[in-house]
Amino acid sequence: MKIIVDYDLCESNAICMGIAPEVFEVRDDDLLYILQENPPEELRERCEEAARRCPKQAITVED
Amino acid sequence: MSVLVAGASLAGLSAAETLRKSGYESEIVVVDRSTTLPVDRPPLSKQILSGEWALERAVSHSHGKLDNWGLDLRLGSAASRLELDPLRVTLEDGSVLEPEGVVIATGSRPRHISDSASRLQGVHVLRDLAHTTALRSDLESSSGPVAVVGAGFIGAEVAATCRSLGHEVTMIEAAATPLVRVLPAPIGQYIAGLHRESGVDVRLGVGVADIVAGPDGHVRGVAMADGSMIEATIVVVGIGVQPNVEWLEGSGLDIANGVTCDARCVASPRVVAAGDVASWHNPRYDRRMRVEQWEHAIGQGEHAAVVLLSEMGFAGSGEVGAFDSVPWFWSDQYDRKIQMAGIPDASDEMVVVEGSIEEGRFAVLFRRGERCSAVLGVNRPRHVMQARMRLEQSLDWDGVISLFD
């Protein structure tokens, strides 16, 4: 599984961080950082949830 | 056997997707009054209205997914009647369905000042893509001035977008402070100041008497209750929405303010509701509420779908509890991102925990006794989300404030 963020779309709403903080972190500079580009399979459901809830649809989860 | 989803709204489609993901393989019929595919609404008052984004950006939001869910999507055929026992839905085209479960997700529509005002050329509301394209067309062909009636979040976003396009904008709010019924006054004062700094004429504390037309039937301005007149060739009315519940009259459901549901979003056996239309008891706040927010529609649609499967005795569905959400929303105005998680009360104590209101980048907590009711941030997404995660565990004040020591 691979997490891809379109940083042109991302507005750091931080919804993803609320759903999967192991993968997504918005830091004090208000920018989104990906903590694991290839998270383990057990995080798939939450990563897909984060992609679905992103207000800007900036996250893609690839197999 | 089938499930009928009334409303191809964000909540309705979220419910439909969740039914499929939970293994429901029977027919899912989604009906909607609109003849066009659903769009993503947040950019309609911002990037689509400004022209920064092409229309397709809002249109394409969920279409790829729609194809994958195997839905029987019936556009232009709204549900017109619901009978509860036995469960039966009549559509406007006369067809009758007897589903095993119903999701009510018919959303809401904008309020107008009056029927006659709503028919004037140059008078707009903003909810759907057609509203946005009509307003954008007027903004392109007229230099304004623009009057925005209502300083809620939609009104404020439209005012910001129109101002950013270079139009003269007056924002009118009957209350002495924007948002004062739902938030402590300093937040509304901040928002009023933000708009004034950006060159918007913010008129507070005077109501609208009427919208006035010229002899050509085109709007000429807004007549104020104090006798003054605000000239405008474009008027945008943002005074809230009303839930679409008329089709449920006579069903036996309580539709006094949306569809009354229990804490699990159940309105009646095997009938659930989600989104703008659903009034449910949120046990986290021990309060009945109806929430008109984007992310809430997704989350409540998911929850209602899982509850419905349980109601229908669907194999594998377990007991599902209450929908005890901490609602979250955002509003972009100029270069400011306003976010809030939770349900504050206007009389809550407000505590600034990051930055300061003066610098326009801050986070505040709202306190009521030993509870933290909500967090609000301006350009502080990280802090809002951290507090939200804590609020989802508990509203206990000490637990939330300890994040900011």
CB atoms within 10 A of CB A51: 19
Inspect the interface and report whether the beta carbons of B382 and A14 lie closer than 8 Å. yes
Which chain B residues contact residue A26 at CB under 8 A?
Answer: 381-382, 385
Q: Name the residue facing A55 among B42, B299, B385 (closest C-beta).
A: B42
Average pLDDT, stretch A25-46?
92
Inspect the interface and report whether the beta carbons of A55 and B295 lie closer than 8 Å. yes
Q: Which two tokens stand for residue B77?
A: 């055929």
For residue B30, the SS3 value is strand
Give the Å distances, CA to CA, from A55 to B18, B45, B119, B165, B348: 18, 14, 33, 23, 28
Which chain A residues contact residue B379 at CB under 8 A?
Answer: 30
Mutate to test the interface with B, among A8, A9, A10, A12 (most CBs of B within 10 A): A12
ω into B327 cis (within 30 of 0): no
Average pLDDT, stretch B377-384?
94
Average pLDDT, stretch B96-120?
96
**Dist. CA B260–CA B268, nearest whole Å:** 9
> A59: phi > 0 → left, psi -120 to 50 → alpha, else beta; which?
beta
Which chain A residues contact residue B380 at CB under 8 A?
Answer: 30
Inspect the interface and report whether the beta carbons of B381 and A21 lie closer than 8 Å. no
How would you classify the pairing of strands B328-333 and B287-289? unpaired
The answer to whether B136 touches B46, Cβ cutoff 8 Å, is no
Quick one: pLDDT band at residue B64, thresholds 50, 70, 90? low
Which chain B residues contact residue A28 at CB under 8 A?
Answer: 382
Give the Å distances, CA to CA, from B7 to A5, B10, B34: 31, 9, 9
Domains held by chain A: number: 1
**Domains recognised in chain B with CATH numbers:** 2-109+242-311 (3.50.50.60), 112-239 (3.50.50.60), 335-404 (3.30.390.30)
- The pLDDT of residue B316 is 74
**A16 interfacial to chain B (CB closer than 8 Å):** no
Q: Which two tokens stand for residue B180?
A: 């004062």
Write out pLDDT tens, residues B236-262: 999 999 999 999 999 999 999 999 999
Give the angle subtended at the CA of A41 by the CAs of A40 and A44, to the nearest 5°.
105
Average pLDDT, stretch B83-88?
96
Give the angle subtended at the CA of A26 by the CAs of A20 and A28, to the nearest 5°.
150
Q: Closest approach of chain A CAs to the CA of B62, in angstroms?
A: 10
- The pLDDT of residue B61 is 62
Which segments within B76-227 are labelled E, that is strand?
79-83, 88-91, 96-97, 101-104, 108-110, 123-124, 146-149, 169-173, 201-204, 208-213, 219-224
Portion of chain B with pLDDT greater than 70, in percent = 99
Which chain B residues contact residue A11 at CB under 8 A?
Answer: 332, 337
- The pLDDT of residue B60 is 63
* Interface confidence (ipTM) of the complex: 0.84
Q: Closest approach of chain B CAs to the CA of A27, in angstroms?
A: 6
CB atoms within 10 A of CB B357: 16
Phi first, then psi: give them for residue B47, nearest 5 degrees.
Answer: -65, -35
Mutate to test the interface with B, among A30, A49, A61 (most CBs of B within 10 A): A30
pLDDT surpassing 80 at residue B318? no
Inspect the interface and report whether the beta carbons of B381 and A30 lie closer than 8 Å. yes
Q: Closest approach of chain B CAs to the CA of A38, in angstroms?
A: 23
Q: Which two tokens stand for residue B156?
A: 């404020």
Inspect the interface and report whether the beta carbons of B298 and A53 lie closer than 8 Å. yes
- B384: nearest CA partner in chain A: A14
Q: Name the residue facing A53 among B295, B337, B384 (closest C-beta).
A: B295
Strand partners, B376: B340, B364
Give the Å distances, CA to CA, from B34 to A22, B39, B59, B76: 40, 11, 14, 5
Q: Return the residue matching tokens 């993503």.
A: B40
Write out pLDDT tens, residues B225-238: 999 999 999 999 99
Write out pLDDT tens, residues B113-150: 999 999 999 999 999 999 999 999 999 998 889 999 99
- The pLDDT of residue B63 is 66
Q: Closest approach of chain A CAs to the CA of B333, in angstroms?
A: 13
Write out pLDDT tens, residues B319-370: 789 999 999 999 999 999 999 999 999 999 999 999 999 999 999 999 999 9
Sheet holding B27-32, edge to edge: B72-75, B27-32, B2-6, B101-104, B271-273, B266-268
Q: Closest approach of chain B CAs to the CA of A54, in angstroms?
A: 9
Which chain B residues contact residue A14 at CB under 8 A?
Answer: 381-382, 384-385
Which chain A residues contact residue B40 at CB under 8 A?
Answer: 57
The answer to whether B187 touches B360, Cβ cutoff 8 Å, is no
- Kindly give the interhelix angle for A44-53 and B294-311, rounded to the nearest 10 degrees: 130
What is the rounded average pLDDT for all residues in chain A? 91
Which chain A residues contact residue B337 at CB under 8 A?
Answer: 11-13
**A44 interfacial to chain B (CB closer than 8 Å):** no
Closest Cα partner for B398 from B365, B376, B364?
Answer: B365
Q: What is the DSSP string of B86-123?
A: TTEEEETTS-EE--SEEEE---EEE--S-HHHHTSBTE
Write out pLDDT tens, residues B270-279: 999 999 999 9
Inspect the interface and report whether the beta carbons of A53 and B381 lie closer than 8 Å. no
ω into B38 cis (within 30 of 0): no
Inspect the interface and report whether the beta carbons of B381 and A18 lie closer than 8 Å. no
Average pLDDT, stretch B212-220?
94
Average pLDDT, stretch B365-392?
96
**Any residues with CB less than 8 A from the CB of B334 and at least 6 apart, and which?**
B160, B163, B164, B194, B198
Write out pLDDT tens, residues B286-314: 999 999 999 999 999 999 999 999 999 98
Inspect the interface and report whether the beta carbons of B337 and A13 lie closer than 8 Å. yes
Q: Residue A15 sits in which domain range? A: 2-62
- A26: nearest CA partner in chain B: B382
The answer to whether B222 touches B172, Cβ cutoff 8 Å, is yes
Inspect the interface and report whether the beta carbons of A53 and B337 lie closer than 8 Å. no
* CA B20 from centroid of its chain's CA atoms: 25
**Dist. CA A8–CA A23, nearest whole Å:** 19
Write out pLDDT tens, residues B156-174: 999 999 999 999 999 999 9
pLDDT surpassing 80 at residue B13? yes
Residue ranges of B 329-358 with Cβ closer than 8 A to chain A:
330, 332, 337, 339
Q: How many helices (H) and strands (E) does chain B have?
A: 11, 27
> Which CATH number do you get for residue A11?
3.30.70.20
Q: Closest approach of chain B CAs to the CA of A13, in angstroms?
A: 6
